[in-house]
Structure 1
């Protein structure tokens, strides 16, 4: 879904998102059919449960939900094709987190959600100044997206229970980098509620 949806009269409006916060779900619409997926998927499945709960809280608070997803090298892809392709090999995560009618969907060609995508245009239109990053992989796409967001002065919450990596040690390392060099909040959703973060 592109930024134009926000300008459609019948579309949900998020220009006054609660606290200027958006929830990004990164690369969770995924067939998990790549090398290393067998190590990543168990952690991603666990993270999906926490993301699902956080998504419900975000929707209730009026925060936009934005799927930022790899195009898997298919330059003619769109949301429906990406979801259908993922569900061919994944029946655990994609069906639970697939985009709803009010969600936005941004395709990315590289690690960062900001690189060559509509995200830098969409976020200001939605009045967003704070981002919650969730998804996979902590040490790759989450880390690169966080770095680009930090350079654009977005405040960040990256709940450690809502992200996953192939190697847990590398995931912890990436979280420490984002916490120490990007001033990101990384406490899990069990220790920090969305309502409390919105009040900051």
Structure 2
């Protein structure tokens, strides 16, 4: 499988009352990736206010969820921690994982670093992840910072590609 997309924590409760940078643009780019992917895995955080089946736990209504999408629940920032994600990836056998979602500086960052340490070949959709302002740091600064961190993370033999949605889609054609 060549085109596997992992969408992290794009859920109602994550966005309710907590403005995330460029929601409309990010969801549009995630939708473009989801439509072009061979398979999509949606990661859903589960905690108080986001319990399975609740409105807060649901994927944002504007996100396209292709037929046959996979869903993995998690309770930590890391989508691999005590979940079935690694087993699911073993079944799907992707050549590469493309990641996007929320929040750049928490769940996405932790999942990317763990996936890289596990040896997965990774692409991060540089313009298809979002976060909120954090103290003195604005969301666009955080997004740019983490894109740079991931692109320059030292993992010999397993560099992380950080590319725009447009470049990912062009490579997938």
Q: Does the pair score TM above 0.5? A: yes
The count of residues paired between Structure 1 and Structure 2 equals 162
Deviation at 1:100, TM superposition (A): 4.0
Structure 1 residues 118 and 137 mapped into 2: Cα distance closer, same or farther (>3 Å)?
Answer: same
* 1:173 partnered with 2:148: no
- Give unmatched runs, 5+ long, in structure 1: 1-16, 88-92
CA change 1:44–1:112 in 2 (3 A) is farther
C-alpha RMSD over aligned residues? 2.2
- The residue aligned with 1:30 is 12
Counterpart in the other structure of 2:99: 133
**SS of residue matched to 1:193:** helix
TM-score by length of 2: 0.83
Of 115-124 and 24-33, deviating more is 24-33
The 1:56–1:98 alpha-carbon spacing in structure 2 relative to 1, beyond 3 Å, is closer
Structure 1 residues 197 and 101: alpha-carbon distance in aligned structure 2, compared to 1, 3 A threshold: closer
Larger helix proportion of the pair: 1
Instruction: Find runs of 4+ consecutive structure 1 residues off by over 4 angstroms.
Output: none
In the alignment, which residue of structure 1 is the partner of 2:83? 117
Q: How many Å apart are 1:146 and its aligned residue? A: 0.3
> Normalised by the size of structure 1, how large is the TM-score?
0.73
* Unmatched 5+ stretches in structure 2: 133-138
| Structure 1 position 95 matched with structure 2 position 47 | no
Which structure shows the bigger proportion of residues in strand conformation?
A: 2
User: How far off its partner does 1:193 sit?
Assistant: 3.5
